[in-house]
Every structure is written in C-alpha cells, then in structure tokens.
Amino acid sequence: MASNDDSAASLSQLFAQGLEVQREIENGQMNSSSREYQERVKKGVGLLEDSTRIVNRLDLFSSNEELDEVATANLKYLLLPALLGDLTLQLMGEERVDVLRRARVYVADYLQRCKSYSITSEEVPTATQPVATTGQQSFEQMTATRQAKIARQQALKETNNKLKELDRRLSSGLPVDEDVQREQTLLLLQSWVYKCLDHVISIDKEMEILSHMEQMKKSGVPPRPEPVADKLPFKPILITREMIKSKVFGAGYPSLPTVSLEEFHEQEAARIQQELERQKAAAQSSGCHGDDDHQSSDEDDEKLQRARAFDEFKDEHRRGEGNKKGKG
C-alpha cells in the first residue's frame, strides 16, 4: 500500500494535470462536439476523480475545522468539486438530464464547502429547491436576480485582476512567502464561487426546459412548427430607374401616356435633326449638286427652321398659356 507521502505527491501531480486540462478546455478554441474535445474533457474528469479519491483517503478536510486550520498546500484541493462540475457540463453523448444532475451535485457541494469554511456567505440552493427561473419570478425578483448577477460579474472581474497580479509576483522567480501563496489560493476559491453560482442558475433553467419538453412529449402535444415566413431567404430589393418610371408614368396601362407632351416634342425635334444630318451626309457622299439637291437642301433647311422656331416658342410660352376656354 502506498504511503501518505507518495499519495500526496501523486495527488499534487494529478490535480495539476486536471487543472491544466480544465483551463485548456475553458480557454481553447476547439469545437465542443468534436471527438478530440470530448476526449480531453473525459481525461480531465478522470484526473480530477482520481484526485478526489486520494483526498478522501487522506482525510485532508474535516467538517468541524476552521479555514485557518487547513494547510496552505491543501487549500487548492477544495476546488475539486467545482472543477468536476465545470467539466461535467461539457460532456456530450450522454443523457443531458443525467449530466446536469451530476454537475449540479458537484457545484452545490463546492458552494456548501466554501460556506462552511466562511469563504462565502452566499446561500446554496439545494436540488429540491432549485433557483427560481425567469418564468417563475415576479418583476421584483427578476430585477433582484439581474442585479445579483451583475454584482457577481463585477466581483469576479475584480478577483481575477487581483489573481493576475499575484500570478505575476509568484512567477517572477523572487522569493514569496506562504501568505502570498495562501492569498492566491483563497482568491481562486472565491472566483469559483461566482462561477458555480452561475452554473447552478444555468443548470436549473436548462432542467426546467427539458422537463417541460418531456411533459409535452408524454401528453402528445407536438412542438410548435416554425413559421414558414422565417424560413424564406431574405432577398434585397433593387429599385432601378426603369422601375421608378414605370410607376410614375403608368407603363403597362394603355389608357395612360408613357411620356409628357414636352418630352414628345423634344424627341420629335431630335429625330428630325438626326434625319437632316443623315440626308446631308448622303448628299455629300454622292457628289450631286444639281437643282434637285438644291431643292432638297432648301426643304431640309425649312424643316430645321420650323423645328428651331417651335423650340423658341416653347421657351417663350408656358404650357397651357392662352387656353382660357371654359375658365371664364
């Protein structure tokens, strides 16, 4: 049988490896449903479970002792149920309800231990009296719950900042006394109190949802189908100039004009101008300068003069001017 010293050395190694896996999972970028991720989670759970067995065999903690009586080197092992609960929540491939129940036992045990050692004064919700979820709370309770969560997040942030400062001091290579190491471990324990309180609330909410789904399944109530409109792809509408014109001028409706009177005259004048230029070009290319050409040129000049006169008339007279019939 291994001696206590050997067991303590083995415990230190197992705990360090399990803590490393937990931090790797927490800060990593792996897909939680991937095989590699799940294998790492299971490895971490196994390391922490082995550590817990050694702690129980060595009787490192007692229910009737004070925090000051716990050796600094052993304080960190109080984290074991918190780490186990955190990693258990990441497990997939099992019944989710069983995973949630097991994780809740771990985190509630951690919170109870921290309260018994006066590390926290937070009330620990029991499994028979879960945290009230949003659907069960009044407006005042919801407000209080939200404020409590904000306070925990702020306290966790401040605790983590202190931890980072102590980590820098401990990793500097300079001599550090036991008080600094103990303060670091106590801050780490406190930070996990905030995390586990959030875990309990999250677990209870998920348990409520799963219970409701199971009741609906037993009663034969089918799940509410998603609205068809939500499944239709969103297509942006591109409005073109042609679309705007068709709306304004009534394209597609024979009873409505497609252009205004002014636009019609402008188009006619442009068409006449183009026709005159085409005829002039044809006459120059043929080399004919007879009387017929002279007469045609005179006619063209006359048409051009009429078009110009009409343009000048439009510039000097507004549309409808002089049309006083029926207006008294």
Question: What digits encode the pLDDT tens for the residues 209-268?
Answer: 998 888 888 887 665 655 554 444 444 444 344 544 444 444 443 444 555 666 666 777
What torsion, rounded to 10 degrees, do the Cα atoms 262, 267, 273, 277 define?
170
Q: What is the pTM of this model?
A: 0.62
Residue 313 pLDDT more than 70?
no
Contact by Cβ (8 Å): 189, 72: no
Cβ atoms within 10 Å, residue 73: 14
Which range has the worst mean pLDDT, 142-146, 241-245, 249-253, 297-301?
A: 249-253
Cβ–Cβ contacts within 10 Å for residue 48, how many?
28
On whether the CB atoms of residues 314 and 266 are closer than 8 A, the answer is: no
CA distance 325 to 94: 91
What's the CA gap between 306 and 203, in Å, rounded?
A: 90
Helices (H) and strands (E) in the chain, counts: 11, 0
At position 63, the amino acid (one-letter code) is: S
Residue with tokens 């406190």: 190
- C-alpha span between 102 and 283 (Å, rounded): 101
Q: What is the DSSP letter of 301?
A: H
CB half-sphere exposure, 316, CA atoms < 13 A: 6
Break the chain into its structural domains and give their ranges: 4-128+205-231, 241-316
For residue 2, what are the contacts with CB-CB under 8 A and spacing of at least 6? Answer: 10
Handedness of CA 77, 82, 87, 91 (dihedral sign): positive
Comparing 46-50, 52-56, 214-218, which segment has the lowest mean pLDDT?
A: 214-218
CATH code, residues 4-128+205-231: 1.25.40.540
The two three-digit tokens of residue 56, written as one number: 């129980």
Confidence tier at 58 by pLDDT (50, 70, 90) = very high
Whole-number Å distance between alpha carbons of 306 and 213: 86
CB-count exposure of residue 304 (10 Å: 0-12, 13-18, 19+): middle
Q: Concatenated DSSP letters for 10-31?
A: HHHHHHHHHHHHHHHHHH----
Q: What is the pLDDT of residue 51?
A: 96
